[in-house]
Chains A and B, each alone.
Chain A
Amino acid sequence: EPFKWASATDPQTMDPHAVSSAPVLSFLNNIYEGLVRRGKDMSIEPSLATSWVPLEGENGWRFTLREGVTFQDGSAFNAEDVMFSYERASSEASDVRSWFAPVTEVRVVDDYTIEFVTSAPNPLFPDSIANFMILDKGWAEANDAALPARDAENFATMNVNGTGPFMVSSRDPGVKTVLTPFGGWWDEATHNVTEATFTPIGNAATGLAALLSGEIDFISPIPLQDVAQVEGRDGFKVLEGEETRVIMFGFGHEHDKLLYSSDVTDKNPFADPKVRLAAAQALDMASIDRVLFRGKIEAASQLVPAGISGYSEANADRPAYDPEAAKALLAEAGYPDGFSFGLKCTNDRYINDEALCRAAASMFAAVGLNAELSTGPVRDYWPQLREDDFDMYLLGWSPGTFDMEHPVRFLLHTQDDEKKLGSWNFGNYSNPRVDELLPLVQQEIDPAQRQAYLDEIVQITQDDVAYIPLYTQPLIWAAKENIDLTQRADDFFMLRWVTVN
């Protein structure tokens, strides 16, 4: 059956190693495959590798590759292709190099066996390369695409040759891309799509109109406020789920004064955990949920949502909404009349991000925390955060490895450029015990012990109010009633699970 779908952005390239962005990786997962892949529940399952075991005597993993797999151009798949793809993906021109930061060596053992050696024990390594897609060495080299394109185009920018279930039959960047099933796919096709057409539609209202007028079968995402409208119509359905992304506020822990305050200019009140707790207590998550998110969000207590490995059940409570207590805490901390500060937010990155910040600013103001809100597009946002240009900021984090370790490494560990730790810990929250625990977590094989370490980290950071976790970002997809599809928590849309009835 023909199938048409739309999303807000077009994958900017067809090269799986050139840009590490969700639209690109999501789209290319229908065409290219990695050694492992994620199932409907995000679990890791065999793909081009049939099995993997830890190396003996050294750190790393051995992958046994699937035999009889062919690329879409007919050439056979073997370990050389994996080796080539590794080299390509870890080259300087690649945008996905960081996945291979722990890798010290890759060895081709035979045509269908390959070993990845890592610098330290790395139980999560197979998880971390689920989006590492394999190219055909011969094809890439013959077409001068041995390296990803960085500042000029190459053959792989517009053309594909994967082992996956779909191939590109035509592509007009920014306009439309047509996929057709690959007859020689090694796996059994469960979908019934004969031709899939993808169109980017940037304007949410237009996208919704396209769905309702029947021109497309599926769109992701749709605005929360339109859910009721779609659900109320015959022949349409809404798929609601939760992304793994937790939205939070961060603080400038290490700043010695506020940058945007009109009253407190000589010190940083947010250095005081009481003030941070007061901020957390000022937020009325119930109203945010009801009004802004139409009851579609789950409040968050920690940096990963429940269900992610390493989630700390023991610390599942978040500070309650209590403006009086917040005021008291502020008074206790020496700010009975509150103070003003700058709050930085994006306006095009997360669902309702700007509205959220405005609502939060208004709630903060109710307890005396007068936020000077400044919102902007994400294109200017990261550089500002990198330059420490904030008092408080909004951040969303999705654990790439679907494990609690990921945010601990990026958001909680003290900044350490050399070891590439705490690289997104903009406010440089720093707790020696957390820093100590991270390596333990990373190397611990025993799940119970590992969880204990993580519980301790969560406990510490909750006590410190290192961040104010707010909620898990909802995932809202809409489709025609006759479409069966699977919504995966990473917001990736897999054509191979689509059935058109």
Chain B
Amino acid sequence: MLVIKDLAVKFPSRFGDVTAIEDVDMTIAPGEIHGLVGESGAGKSTVGAAVIGLLPTPGYVAGGELTLGDTDLRALSREEAHRLRGDRISMIFQDPQTSLNPLMTVEDQLVETIQAHSDVGYEAAHKRAVDLLEEIGIENASARIKSYPHQFSGGMRQRVVIALALCTDPEVIIADEPTTALDVAVQSQVLELIRRLADTRGIAFMLITHDIGVIAQVADRVTVMRHGKVMESGETRQVLGAPEHPYTRALMAAVPPLDRRIERFAIPEPEAGGAGAGEAAERWLLEGVGGAATGLRVLDLSVQFAGTRTSLFKKPEPFTALHDISFEVRPGSIMGVVGESGSGKSTLAKVLTGLVSPASGQMHLGDAPLPGAKQRGRGHPSRQLIQMVFQDPYSSLNSRHRIGAILAEPLWLYGLVQEAGARRELAAQMLDLVGLPADAIDKYPHQFSGGQRQRIAVARALLARPRFLICDEPTSALDVSIQAEILNLLKDLQANFGLTILFITHNLTVVRQMADDMIVLRRGRIEEAGSTEAVFEAPQAEYTQKLLSLTPVMPREWQIAG
């Protein structure tokens, strides 16, 4: 039984100690999965790290109690604490790609861990390792155990990570976002495994995540955090089904439902400024659009990448990222593109924007043919007409440029506004339009939150007066609440300016909310295409059905209508 009482953690900084978490209470019983949710920066990881005693320097536990069974975790010496780690408490990290030592075989790492905590010989340790791998679902474990981490797929690696955390039979496992980096398919397997282990072995799990769907699926109890404090805590059914705290309620409202379409998302706390302002920018945009929307047609498009060369004499096998795909985006509509990781979604965006050359096939923007990257000169009109909003708001803005410069760039580049003062003026209005304060213009990107940055990215795209906007997973790096804001903004833009949008995502629930039509990609081929409602209501392809069934959903009755 892990008991956390009044826990407070502080980080000394140059402005004095920053309190990361405060007054955190939590109890996790054996065999229980205790979910910990909250937006980014809420202090979820800090709780986990404090329990296992691995707070990042210079953080320290400033107060409260931490007890595991009879042991007072705070009273342990450095050595004792280290001995306890693995033995009684273990931890699983988010990214299976980086959690394993790439230079050691899985066996080395397992055996080493087992031997560190129990006095067994190699043979016994090895046997235990193989058994464990088998138990958590790695086929042919006695052979695969000799492999290096890079020889496993992501899902298998996360299983190995779990095996490592399990191999010493701990009482508590802290899982910090164990599935965030994984596909829905793999995610559901891992979650199942965790559930099973909790049930069969009686291990207590602290499951940290920001995905409420995940919590809904497996957690027994849940704690909601915000700004380092516990907002609400209790049985999952209780907290999510009948939230009492307004924050929890707002959070629930922002979760897009999978099974129906809602017009707008409820937003926990509307941002200052809000939409509706920036009329001048709106007018300027409408001037440029000047009426009819533009569609896009793609015919038999293929994309190949050069494979890695392994022989001097053989030409490397090219890797085909897109196989003869054809589809059409109706003018003024939103087209959703879904598919698991590596299915070719970003590649499609890159071909359309001219970053990657197609191997074959044709593209038409409106009625005009759209040449591939190599034939598309820097001055080609499509460079302006097609704009893109990228996935990662942290890297899509040049962190060394001011917002003003970032926004003015398309105006200058496409010669839309000649005069510098006017460009700045327009940029300020555009900020207003996407709901940011005007003083943002002289700041740098790092001074904004992810959601704000994504708004800036949208503003930059709009300032080119595009007719066709590509959004490549624009919200996957964001919390649900912020995701909701961005999605609302995009919907508004589409409605107001007749923008045509290609919306790429791996999240089915988001697509359902956004897209008029959709295609499902898998390994570079279109598995299914059609209107969104049709696909969701009656999926034809087996793959689509599987995706739909694996997506974690909340029971319908928990959802608050938007």
Q: Do chains A and B touch in the complex (CB under 8 A)?
A: no
